[in-house]
A = this chain, B = another copy of it.
Amino acid sequence: MLIVGEKINSSRKNIKNMVEGKNKEFIQELAQKQVEGGAQMLDLNIGTIRNSESEDMKWLVKTVQAAVDVPLCIDSPNHEVIKAGLEVYDWNKGKALINSVTGEKEKLELILPLVKKCKCSVVALTMDERGIPQNSKERFTIADGLIRKLTNEGIPTEDIYIDPLTLPVSANIQNSNTVLETLKRIKDSYPEVKTIIGLSNISYGLPERRLINQNFVILAMACGLDAVILDSTDQKIMALIKATNLLLGKDEFCGQYLKAFREGKL
């Protein structure tokens, strides 16, 4: 399981202020805390800062990479911002993950050259010009089309991360099942293609959100999840992921689990 730290996201008001104010120390400390908590990659998302997004992303990539040694997920709906981030990216820190392309043709044509040029990984969302399909069959159809297009362009399957798009279960009780079924369909058809979800959306509008988020990541892991964007400073959820890895047979001799126990992290 690739753990991607979610916290440097300008939809959180204090992050927006800290990025706009160029508060290097705050951002670097937040990056370090996430890595210490177990993040193996950090997501950078400043989608809510409109005027200086590209310059801010450049500053953010440089600031974070000066503090931690993990690769970054450059997360923006704007290809110019992604391009700006990649321009200053330090490739010695590992392969960047571009977040994201969709089934929208225009978007794909703008992002694809960046992925090919930088040989980075890419998140592909199961939506297209018509929006996000309600059911897993149609989401899989979009994923299937994207995987074919990307591999035809020479992107290795293991560099493709499909995000089946998590919508709140409070809006439609089937929203969780739709994601779980899409994950299963993808892994059944393309075992080497990676899957990724963001965790916080699922519980929007409900009480005790952490409880729901915790459960959702476990269920998703049972359905073949490879990567998750979450709060890696939340020790409880990190402990649950370790226990789940154990129960899915991915922790030989229970080594990681027992190590976490000895370190007081369970």
Contacts and interface: CB of A to CB of B under 8 A. Distances in A.
Interface of A: 169-170, 173-174, 176-177, 180, 202, 206-208, 211-212, 214-216, 218-219, 221-223, 239-240, 243-244, 246-249, 251-254, 257-258, 261, 266
B249 A173 contact: yes
Given A173-B251, A177-B249, A249-B174, A266 B215 contact: no
15 contacts: A173-B249, A173-B251, A176-B247, A176-B248, A180-B222, A180-B247, A202-B247, A206-B254, A206-B257, A211-B243, A215-B244, A215-B247, A218-B219, A219-B222, A222-B223
A222 B218 CA distance: 9
Contact of A246 (B173, B243, B244, B266): B173
Nearest to A257: B206
Given A207-B261, A218-B218, A222-B222, 17 more contacts: A169-B254, A173-B249, A173-B251, A177-B248, A180-B222, A180-B247, A202-B247, A206-B254, A206-B258, A208-B239, A212-B247, A214-B240, A215-B218, A215-B243, A215-B244, A219-B221, A219-B248
Contacts of A174: 249
> Which of A173, A206, A223: most chain B Cβ within 10 A?
A173
> Which of A177, A218, A223, A248: most chain B Cβ within 10 A?
A218
B169 A208 contact: no
A170 B252 CA distance: 10
A266 to B, nearest CB: 5
Contacts of A221: 219
Nearest to A212: B243
A216 B247 contact: yes
Contacts of A258: 206-207
A177 B254 CA distance: 14
A207 B253 CA distance: 14
A117 to B, nearest CB: 39
Nearest to A221: B219
Contact of A247 (B219, B244, B253): B219
Contacts of A247: 169, 176-177, 180, 202, 212, 215-216, 219
A199 to B, nearest CB: 12
A185 to B, nearest CB: 15
Contacts of A222: 180, 218-219, 222-223
Contacts of A206: 254, 257-258
